[in-house]
Amino acid sequence: MERKAVRRRVLPGIAMITALAAGVTGLAGCTDGNGIGITSDQKGGGSTAAPAQPGKYRSLPQPCKAADTKRLKAMLPASDSLTTQQREQLYAGTAEPSFDGDRHVGCRWNAQAPEGTLLLSVTFERVVSYDRAAASDDDKAHTVFVRRLTDAHLPFPGITSSPSPSTAPGASATPAQPSGSPSAPPAPASAPASASPSAPASPSTAPELGSRVLEGLGSEAYLDDKLSPAGASAAQSRTVRIVFRTSNVLVTIEYSVQPSGPAAIPSSAETQDKTRQLAQALAERFSE
């Protein structure tokens, strides 16, 4: 009877020693070579990259006040029949509805003149990346710009070859003809024939500059020029749209000229020049 009691007392002690040994073994598996416990999580396999900084612009300017009145008057000449109050309303513009003034705002102007109808719109869009660990606000804005460039059926910058000095930017270039000489073959029928000094010059239409990628305007930009099809009675209207990006903001300017007479065709050079001047002024305002 005494031997059994001793055995019962010894067994719990052995169990305690075994548990302590197992605990020591477990701790040894969580130590480094110096015996110091490692508390860092080893599942990631490396440090996590810091998220990109927010875009440069946190808000947007008021679009109806973005363009100065002098430039608006050049693009939208008011009729002489308008009163002073009507002129002020014309150049004040009409703000587009917006659910978030810090993300998307716009303004429109409409001028009616005997020569035709003039329409202008300016839109500001601030792009935000919701996952800045994957892409910054600027990267996201660049992606949106490229998508719109593709929708306009324009090549990405760097793919098109630069036009020759004798060819207007964006115009469809034709194969260069060899330099002429007295014995050279005559020019094609589409080219104007050389006339004698006394012969009157034949009338010619203004060249079409066409759509193209622009340089020197914001971070990246393109111009889209569209002329409506000719009709029997309807006049051909021209719409020039310029889209440029500056950091994480996209700016869109659309200028339409609709002549009242079917014979008049809006000038490509003049319409584009006025639109580009406004775009350059807005880009400079963002860089201030």
Q: How many helices, marked H, and strands, marked E, lie in the chain? A: 5, 7
Residue in 220, 257, 226, 276 with CA at minimum distance from that of residue 71 = 276
Report residue 18: phi and psi, to 5°: -65, -40
Residue with tokens 């002020």: 88
Q: Taking all residues of the chain, what is their mean pLDDT, rounded to a whole number?
A: 75
CB atoms within 10 A of CB 249: 23
Q: How many Å apart are CA 225 and CA 240, to the nearest integer?
A: 5
1 pLDDT band, cuts 50/70/90, is very low
Instruction: With a cut of 60, say whether residue 206 has pLDDT above it.
Output: yes
Query: pTM of the predicted model, to two decimals?
Result: 0.67
Residue 250: burial class (beta carbons within 10 Å; 0-12, 13-18, 19+)? buried
Query: Under 8 Å CB-to-CB from 116, ≥6 apart: which residues?
Result: 235, 257, 258, 259, 260, 261, 264
Positive or negative, the CA dihedral 106, 147, 255, 57 is positive
**Which letter, b or e, does each residue of 209-248 get, where b requires 16 or more Cβ atoms within 10 Å of its Cβ?**
bbbbbbeebbebbbbbbebeeeeeeebbbbbbbbbbbbbb
Element (H, E) at 75: helix 69-75
Q: Which of 277, 38, 24, 248 is CA-nearest to residue 125?
A: 248
% helix, strand, coil for the chain, step of 5: 30, 20, 50
pLDDT exceeds 50 at position 209:
yes
CA 13 and chain centroid, separation: 78
pLDDT digits (tens, 9 = 90+) for 239-258: 999 999 999 999 999 999 99
Single-letter code of the amino acid located at 194: S
Report yes or no: 74 and 67 within 8 Å, Cβ to Cβ: no
Please state the domain extents for the chain: 63-156+208-287
Q: Give, for 105, the enclosing helix (H) or strand (E).
A: strand 104-113
15 vs 62, higher pLDDT: 62
Determine contact, residues 224/76, Cβ cutoff 8 Å.
no
Hey, what are 226's tokens? 């569209």
Give the full edge-to-edge strand order of the sheet including 104-113.
94-95, 104-113, 116-126, 249-259, 238-246, 220-227, 212-214
Find where tokens 């020049």 sit.
Answer: 273
Q: Are the C-beta atoms of 136 and 52 separated by less than 8 Å?
A: yes
- For 63, other C-beta atoms within 10 Å of its C-beta total 21
Taking 60 as the threshold, does the pLDDT of residue 285 lie above it? yes
In this prediction, residue 205 has a pLDDT band, given cuts at 50, 70 and 90, of low
Cβ–Cβ < 8 Å for 90, 111: yes
Give the pLDDT confidence of 143-176 residue by residue, as tens digits. Answer: 999 999 999 998 776 544 444 333 344 444 333 3
